Amino acid sequence: MRGTPQQRPTAPNDTSNGRPDTAAGGGPAIGPARLWIDWTACDARGWCAELLPELLTRDPDGYPLDRSPGAHATQDLTIPAQLAGHARRAVDACPRLALRLLPD
């Protein structure tokens, strides 16, 4: 279930997020997953859009923006399985620890 780097949960975020109760992490993202953005933490540095250009672009202020048209009705971004690795890299790279990968 876990062990390989590919399937490692986004554990490093958990304690440094200051939310020890959220040890659940994103869980191993085996299938499709959702990318959750903590909008109160994000400060528009745009690394996520660079690491996940297939799904994310930046709005005029630099905040990450879902590329798919009309997708803003829901808060979470759906990550197809083949992009899960990229998504996890974006999660780990976010300097504000604002991203989290959740099982779908």
Partner 1 sequence: MTVEHTTCPSPAPTAAPPSSPSPPAPTTSPAAPAASPAAAAASPLRGSPVDWPGPPREPWPAGVHPVHADRDTPAVGGTDGADLPGTAGAGGHATGRLLALAAPDLLGHHRRCGPLPWRGPGGYLLRELHDAGLTGRGGAAFPTWRKLAAVTEAAYPVAGDRLSRRRAGAGGGTGRPRSGGTPVVVANAAEGEPESVKDVTLLAAAPHLVLDGVQLTAEAVGAGDAFVYVKAGSAAAAVVRRAVAERRAAGWDRCVIEVREAPVTFLAGEASAVVAALEGATARPRAHWRPLADTGLHGRPTLVHNVETLAHLAMIARWGSAWFRAVGTADEPGTLLVTVTGAVAAPGVVEVPYGTALGDLVGSRGGAVEPVGALRIGGYAGIWLPVAAGPAVPMSREGLAPWGATPGPGIVSVLPARACGLAETARLVTYLAAQNAGQCGPCVSGLPQLARSVAAMARVAGQDTAPDGENPAQAASRALRLAALVSGRGACHHPDGAARIAHSALRTFAADIRAHTQGHCLGSAHPS
55 in contact with ligand SF4 (CB under 6 A): no
Separation of alpha carbons 73 and 69, rounded Å? 10
Q: Vertex 103, ends 100 and 23: CA angle to 5°?
A: 55
99 in contact with ligand SF4 (CB under 6 A): yes
Interacting residue with ligand SF4 among 8, 27, 32, 46 (CB under 6 A): 46
Contact residues toward partner 1 (CB under 8 A) are 1, 21-25, 27, 36-44, 59, 61, 63, 65, 70, 72-75, 100, 102-103
